[in-house]
């Protein structure tokens, strides 16, 4: 019996087998081409020139001295921007030249000379800009009273920035290779226009998936895990308070473990009545420090009520001054501000705050910017409800304060400036981010012609912007304010504080503070450049709190005269020298208990 003909494969199987074969062939071919494109393809001439120009500009000064990684970030990101911009500009010019029929040619006998001249110019300009940048860094170091970085810092940072830009170029070429792969796979089956669109979408989706896994799956989760571990850490260097006037101490309604690492440090720190009395020469009282932390089992409303319960337990309503702080993302509060209040009032005060998050401020702002605003509002509302139940003559004076993201969150408790002035007896906001709505309201109504680093609001009757203590009594240019009335509000901000000046609009617009060249601790050589200045200020932020007090985002000794002014501890002009001596004694006492500041 003759065997019948072999069965023909079904159409789907035939199509699938062909597609798999084609995929293997195309993938192998594309893989070989991708190596060649990513590693051996020459640099785009326009892109190279753009990257070189951006690198020269990136060495220009910003607000603070740069570490090696700040150099790397500035140079790397600037070169990426310059390469892409230069490559795009070259293509536009080439297309425009073809449309106009223009063509530029160099005679063969002049090409070698032109190359050498171009190379010499590039090397010379690069060397000049780099040396000039290093010298400017030394100038900035002196302005903010820091030791200049050594030469190795600049060399290593520049090399790392160049390496980062090369890595970014390889990543970009890998994306182009991915797009080519998708086009090769789709071309046999779809129209040309559809192939271009679909390959682009698939490439973007691939890049998004990879970035999501790397950034959110690894970087973000790692940051969250570290933040959680740091918040749980109970350090042996932070002893549990023995005073019943501190949360977490004896008789406290809040357990020591529940406060979180920043809260434990806050209630454990500060001076006792004896130290305050020795520094001020008055009979001091033991200051009250209250703190509570939100948790998975307790929301922010309940946490605010827990703070009120702690204030009740410690007798805070009988004190002369009550200050509500909104903390940063981790719940951190500035010890200089806390201690200044306690020394200036002779301990006759209470301070209170809640921890609404344990993430660093940038991470908190990105993933949960509602929490700082709710924390500031809920705490103020809960305390004001309790104060309303007390006779007016028995209520402590109520103040609010916050630094950085805490300033942003604390000010969110008020709809506008009149409500703030009507609701509290005073406020101190330090290092306020530019995106804070209340601050934007104030700057929009500042006196025309007043400097952007210290705008004058309503003649300084209630609100004064302070870049250094002398601004408390005269404006930035030395002019007189209107008489200072109560309640008093101080916005403290250093011209060299990148947290204050960072804004997305730096990408495309020159800000007024930079255009005016005003700022006693900022070099007048600083200039604005699209994209580059944005990343320069962003790179300045992480270490801005580590610079010497009085500069950057480090608000230290100036908190003593600032709080004295807001509390109304005025003296006649002839007695200000004696008051400054008293403040210096308080500053020395605070530095003894808080030497790291």
Distance CA 546, CA 596 (A): 10
548 SS3 class: coil
Distance CA 312, CA 317 (A): 7
SS3 state of residue 324: strand
Structure tokens at 48: 């190279």
Q: What was the pLDDT predicted at 6? A: 42
Please give the Cα distance from 430 to 583 (Å, whole number).
19
Contact present, 203 and 175 (Cβ < 8 Å):
yes
Domain spans in the chain, listed from the N-terminal domain onward: 16-103+113-189, 242-413+567-597
User: Under a CB-based contact definition with an 8 Å cutoff, are residues 527 and 61 in contact?
Assistant: no
For residue 353, the surrounding DSSP H or E stretch is strand 349-355
Q: Are 544 and 552 in contact (CB under 8 A)?
A: yes
Beta strand segments in 262-309, E: 288-293
List of residues 6+ apart from 457 with CB closer than 8 A: 442, 445, 446, 447, 463, 464, 465
Q: State the first-to-last Cα distance of the chain, in angstroms, to the nearest integer.
A: 100
DSSP per residue, 148-205: PPPHHHHHHHHHHHHHHHHHHHHHHHHHHHHHHHHHHHHTTTS-HHHHHHHHHHHHHH
Beta bridge partner(s), residue 463: 489
Residue 266 tokens read as 């806050």
Quick one: CA dihedral 235, 238, 240, 244, positive or negative? Answer: negative
**Interatomic CA distance for residues 305 and 302, integer angstroms:** 5
The residue among 355, 366, 489 whose CA lies nearest residue 430 is: 489
- Residue with tokens 């007390």, as numbered in its chain: 390
Whole-number pLDDT of residue 215: 66
Residue 521: which of 501, 491, 542 has the closest Cα?
501
pLDDT tens digit at each of 597 positions of the chain:
444 444 444 444 443 344 444 444 545 555 555 445 555 667 788 888 988 999 999 999 999 999 999 999 999 999 999 988 988 888 888 888 887 877 777 777 777 777 788 888 888 999 999 999 999 999 999 999 999 999 999 999 999 999 988 888 888 778 777 778 887 888 787 787 787 778 778 778 877 777 767 666 667 777 777 877 877 888 888 899 999 999 999 999 999 999 999 999 999 999 999 999 999 988 999 999 999 999 888 999 999 999 999 999 999 999 999 999 999 988 899 999 999 999 999 999 999 999 998 888 877 777 778 889 999 999 999 999 999 999 988 999 999 999 999 999 999 999 999 999 999 999 999 999 999 999 999 998 899 989 999 999 999 999 999 999 999 999 999 899 999 999 999 999 999 999 999 999 999 999 999 999 888 999 999 999 999 999 999 999 998 998 999 999 999 999 999 999 999 998 888 888 899 999 999 999 999 988 765
| Predicted pLDDT of residue 214 | 67
Whether residue 356 contacts residue 371, with contact meaning beta carbons closer than 8 Å, is answered with yes
What is the distance between the alpha carbons of residues 308 and 383, in angstroms, rounded to a whole number? Answer: 6
Of 361, 379, 377, 378, the residue nearest 369 (C-alpha): 361
Position 198 scores a pLDDT of 82
What residues are paired with 353 via a beta bridge? 291
Chain center to CA of 545:
10
């Amino acid at each position: 019996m003759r065997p019948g003909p072999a069965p023909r494969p079904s159409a789907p199987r035939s199509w699938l087998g062909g597609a798999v074969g084609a995929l293997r062939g195309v993938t192998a071919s594309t893989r070989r081409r991708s190596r060649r494109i990513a590693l051996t393809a020459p640099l785009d001439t326009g892109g190279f020139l753009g990257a070189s120009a951006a690198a020269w500009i990136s060495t220009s000064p910003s607000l603070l001295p740069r570490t090696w990684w700040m150099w790397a970030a500035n140079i790397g990101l600037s070169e990426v921007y310059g390469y892409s911009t230069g490559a795009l500009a070259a293509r536009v010019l080439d297309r425009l030249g073809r449309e106009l029929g223009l063509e530029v040619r160099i005679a063969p006998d002049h090409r070698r000379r032109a190359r050498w001249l171009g190379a010499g110019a590039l090397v010379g300009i690069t060397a000049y800009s780099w040396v000039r940048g290093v010298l400017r860094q030394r100038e900035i170091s002196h302005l903010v009273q820091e030791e200049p970085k050594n030469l190795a810092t600049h060399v290593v940072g520049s090399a790392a920035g160049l390496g980062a830009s090369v890595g970014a170029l390889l990543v970009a070429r890998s994306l182009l290779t991915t797009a080519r792969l998708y086009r090769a796979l789709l071309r046999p089956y779809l129209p040309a226009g559809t192939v271009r669109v679909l390959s682009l979408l698939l490439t973007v989706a691939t890049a998004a998936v990879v970035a999501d896994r790397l950034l959110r799956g690894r970087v973000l989760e790692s940051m969250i895990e570290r933040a959680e571990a740091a918040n749980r850490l109970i350090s042996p260097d932070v002893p549990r308070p023995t005073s019943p006037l501190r949360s977490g101490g004896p008789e406290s309604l809040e357990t020591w473990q529940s406060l979180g690492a920043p809260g434990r440090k806050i209630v454990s720190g500060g001076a006792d009545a004896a130290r305050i009395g020795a520094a001020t020469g008055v009979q001091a009282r033991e200051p009250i420090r209250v703190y509570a932390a939100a948790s998975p089992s307790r929301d922010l409303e309940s946490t605010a009520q827990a703070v009120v319960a702690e204030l009740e337990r410690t007798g805070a309503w009988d004190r002369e001054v009550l200050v509500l702080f909104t903390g940063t993302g981790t719940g951190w509060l500035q010890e200089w501000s806390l201690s200044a209040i306690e020394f200036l009032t002779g301990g006759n005060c209470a301070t209170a705050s809640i921890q609404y998050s344990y993430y660093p401020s940038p991470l908190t702002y990105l993933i949960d910017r509602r929490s700082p605003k709710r924390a500031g509002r809920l705490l103020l509302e809960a305390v004001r409800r309790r104060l309303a139940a007390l006779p007016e003559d028995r209520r402590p004076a109520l103040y609010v304060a916050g630094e950085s993201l805490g300033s942003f969150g604390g000010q969110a408790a008020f709809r506008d400036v009149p409500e703030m002035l009507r609701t509290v007896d005073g406020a101190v906001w330090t290092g306020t981010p530019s995106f804070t709505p209340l601050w934007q309201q104030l700057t929009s109504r500042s006196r025309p012609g007043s400097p952007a680093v210290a705008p004058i609001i309503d003649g300084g009757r209630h609100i004064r912007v302070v870049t250094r203590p002398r601004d408390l009594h005269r404006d930035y240019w030395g002019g007189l304010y209107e008489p200072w009335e109560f309640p008093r509000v101080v916005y403290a901000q250093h011209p060299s504080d990148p947290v204050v000046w960072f804004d997305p609009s730096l990408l495309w617009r020159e800000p007024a503070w930079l255009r005016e060249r005003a700022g006693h601790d900022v070099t007048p050589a600083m200039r604005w450049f699209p994209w580059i200045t944005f990343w320069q200020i962003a790179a300045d932020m992480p270490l801005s709190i580590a610079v010497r007090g009085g500069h950057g985002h480090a608000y230290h000794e100036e908190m003593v005269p600032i709080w004295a002014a807001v509390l109304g501890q005025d003296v006649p002009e002839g007695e200000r020298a004696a008051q400054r001596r008293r403040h210096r004694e308080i500053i020395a006492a605070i530095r003894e208990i808080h030497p790291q500041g």
